[in-house]
Amino acid sequence: MINGFISIDKPPNITAHDCISKLRKLLKQKKIGHGGTLDPMATGVLPIAVGNATRLLRFLPEGKAYVAKIRFGVVTNTDDVTGEILSDRPCPDLTLEEVEKLLPLFQGEITQRPPAFSAIQINGKRLYDLARRGEIVESDIPIRSVEITEIRVLNWTTGDYPELDVAIACGSGTYIRSIARDLGEKLGCGATLSGLVRTYSNGFDLDSSLTFDQVEELLRLHSLEVLAPDHGLHFLPMITLDEDQTKRWCMGQTIKDESFLLTSSPEKSSTSEIYNYIRTYGYAQQFLGVSEMIGSDIQPIVVLHPIN
């Protein structure tokens, strides 16, 4: 039984659910989940939890980063190049300077309208299902607030349909397709997303990600090493329990009004500050799970290794 995380470098043209199905077959294990969807067209970081690590997915830090390619002069119904073309207007005279003047409008806390073809639910129905049946109009799609911490130009390609490569760092719930669409609308020429690579997601980066070919080869060599269950949780403060506290905590008991060795994390996170979640370790330095500090008490939230 494998317990831990694998960061997959998702290939194009498959869904996150497809990745889960493929890993279940490769690992011969059913209990697998992912830490955030990724459009089929997109590639890059897809955090995967295996075994009891699936119970830790909700504690992973927020934040994602992408390298996006935006094509100007084309508008599609999906806001990316996989969709039906709604308008096609070459714009060879568009300059990088014109684009750069507008980029500050897409930084900080902004509002955006998600694409019609997205997994958001309205009245219990997925937007993409409504869009395929022609049962959704733009005014029905709820506007949401998202956080863009960085948008930086990487490359500019001229032509009838100029393309812009940008690095984007953002919070959860941000649609890069919407940024491409809205930028094109502000320029008056239209635009759509023509490429997307996720380089960071919820504590995992591209450098530590594996392709499916690499996973298969490592399994063949019996040398696949998954990331530890507490990988990605190091932004949380940690606590170390003594032997008696460890036994009681693992039985689900709240540890009340006792002395603890609590170590703050050098990494700050709104998750840890707001909810007081704590990485919890036993007397032998083994990772036990996650606690919540309520007043001066330690309440077990996720117990990975209960004592029988």
DSSP per-residue string spanning the chain: ---EEEEEEEPTT--HHHHHHHHHHHHT-S-EEESS---TT-EEEEEEEEGGGGGGGGGSPP-EEEEEEEEESEEESSSBTTS-EEEE---TT--HHHHHHHGGGGSEEEEEPPPSSSS-EETTEEHHHHHHTT---GGGSPPEEEEEEEEEEEEEE-SSS-EEEEEEEE-TT--HHHHHHHHHHHHTS-EEEEEEEEEEETTEEGGG-B-HHHHHHHHHTT---PBPTTTT-TTS-EEE--HHHHHHHHTT--B-S---EEE--SS--HHHHHH-EEEEE-TTS-EEEEEEEETTEEEEEEESS---
9, 39, 80, 230: which one is catalytic?
A: 39
Q: Is 39 a catalytic residue?
A: yes
Would you please indicate which residues are annotated as catalytic (active-site) residues?
39
